[in-house]
A and B are shown apart, each in its own frame.
Chain A
């Protein structure tokens, strides 16, 4: 069965610094991959998704992610973090080749001024 691992429970960065959130997946075939963001007490918002094609995916809010098959990874990056980026970030993989995501446990991003 597919699974997603987000190794970092919390990440702390300074405003203006670069960011990379790690995500590793387990799935035999080419996966459908997603990154979502959640503000406290709110639902999730889709940042970006990968289904096929170019392995570098651009998303909303200046985020990007790179699919690396050899490392089974789909890390999320942003070159310069803003205080408003503080939130919970979830990586997800489509279950069984479908678009229904199985979510990781999330990484909480803390941004220092």
Chain B
């Protein structure tokens, strides 16, 4: 079955470390997105990509970086410049007007 796979499910980061969250889809969707979810704040857009080798900043891109070298993959790196990275990260994809398909998320905790 087609879907979006996010890994790992749980991730722990030490202060000053960069970490990369994986997002892979086999839905043949053109667009992919990264959201951050904090309790009581809904979802906030970090980055999105509507085509391979191109991506745009969302509302809270500072301290994050992405790449889109393949249609299927859209990894997110949380850099040491992100001062408050503890959150639930959700990846999504879409094709046309069909609405989003979400992955099951990665919970990142700073230790």
Contact = CB atoms under 8 A, between A and B. Distances in A.
Q: Do A and B come from one complex?
A: yes
Interface of A: 9, 32, 34, 36, 41-46, 49, 51, 90, 99-106
B40 interface: yes
B19 to A, nearest CB: 19
Interface string B69-111: 0000000000000000000001010101101111111010000
B41 interface: yes
Contacts, number: 49
Contacts of A46: 99-101
Contact of A44 (B94, B96, B102, B107): B102
Contacts of B4: 43
Nearest to B103: A43
Given A90-B43, A105-B41, A105-B42, A43 B102 contact: yes
A35 B96 CA distance: 17
B29 to A, nearest CB: 12
A9 B105 contact: no
Contact of B105 (A34, A36, A41, A106): A41
B45 interface: yes
Contacts of B42: 90, 103-106
A51 B97 contact: yes
A44 B44 CA distance: 13
A68 to B, nearest CB: 21
Contact of B104 (A43, A51, A101, A106): A43
Of residues A43, A90, A101, A106, which shows the largest number of chain B Cβ atoms within 10 Å of its Cβ?
A: A43
A98 B6 CA distance: 25
A100 B105 contact: no
8 closest Cβ pairs, A-B complex: A43-B102, A46-B99, A103-B42, A105-B42, A103-B43, A44-B102, A43-B104, A43-B103
A90 B44 CA distance: 12
